[in-house]
Structure 1
Amino acid sequence: MKTTMFDPSIPNGPSIISIRSDQDIVAARMAARDIARRIGFTTVDEARIVLATSELTRNILRHASYGDLTINAIMRNHDGLRCGIELIFRDRGPGIAGIEHILHMGNTMDGKRVLGIPGSQRMMDEFYIDTHPETGTTITCRKWLP
């Protein structure tokens, strides 16, 4: 039986994780997995959510030094009741120059296989990037239950 958004074990407010160290990446992964599991995602979709969380929080440390992740259990009703998870990654780094190129470059960099932003985008159902040199980057992604 699938868990629903009305399950009292599902947080009804955001979980916010400050990203300042590798330990925070682990905490973010654990929080994303826990909330995804409570919502009722399959093990495969949980893994996708955790992988995107890991990659995007690592990017925060690599390119901006610090930031935060907000995790929300979400619902929408405009096309039938659907439940899902929303991940919002924010930093105050230098922004992402050439974002269109990055999104279409595939999954290799300097001869190494990477997941990064393009791979994280493929893991999720919705993926939005707002990036500016003056204010940093916000990536919002969502995964919906089938």
Structure 2
Amino acid sequence: MTLATSRDVVAARQAVARILKERGLSAVRITRFATAVSEITRNAIVHGGGGKISIYLDDRSEYLRVECRDEGPGIENVTLAMSDGYTTAGGLGRGLGGAKRLSHGFEVRSAPGKGTTVSMSVKL
């Protein structure tokens, strides 16, 4: 799924929520993970100039996995970017760290000039 506008963020969130609902997760768990997906996809658009998101089940169907990629400027210091209060866009600075807390698995791969890939998962 391509990420270019706020409509794409909504579509990604709805796709994840639909899959989790079909798998019988509670409304709270669905909302938590869908919120994390919203944050990461919005970041790809705002900071990375757009990107792509893949949503899939792992090999044993135990986790729903989401991978969000962009080819933007990358993140110079991922550790700093993950800390609460850090912001480059004047927001609250809770985006990456908050998304991590709302996920079971979470990894950021990035380098300046190389874009960013965020992989996240939720246990089914």
Same fold (TM over 0.5): yes
User: What does residue range 47-66 of structure 1 map to in structure 2 within 5 Å?
Assistant: 47-66=31-50
Alpha carbons of structure 1 residues 23 and 112: separation in structure 2 relative to 1, 3 Å? closer
Deviations 1:92-130 (A, max 9, x none): 011111111121x22565885353100000000111111
Equivalent residue number for residue 64 of structure 2: 85
Q: 1:124 aligns with which of 84, 87, 103?
A: 103
User: What does residue range 33-48 of structure 1 map to in structure 2 within 5 Å?
Assistant: 33-48=17-32
SS at the partner of 1:113? coil
Q: Which runs of 5+ in 2 are unaligned?
A: none
Whether 1:71 aligns to 2:55 is yes
Q: Which runs of 5+ in 1 are unaligned?
A: 1-16, 77-81
Mapped to 1, the partners of 2:91 and 2:115 lie a distance apart of: 26
TM-score computed with the length of structure 1 as normaliser: 0.76
Say which one has the larger Rg: 1
Q: CA RMSD in A?
A: 2.0
Mapped to 2, the partners of 1:121 and 1:73 lie a distance apart of: 19
Q: Percent identity?
A: 29
TM-score computed with the length of structure 2 as normaliser: 0.89
Equivalent residue number for residue 102 of structure 1: 81
Question: What count of residue pairs does the alignment treat as equivalent?
Answer: 123
Regions of 4+ moved over 3 Å: 107-115
Alpha carbons of structure 1 residues 23 and 45: separation in structure 2 relative to 1, 3 Å? same
The question of whether the paired residues in 2 share the 8 Å contact of 1:67 and 1:89 is answered with yes
SS at the partner of 2:75? coil
- Give the residue type in structure 2 aligned to 1:95: G
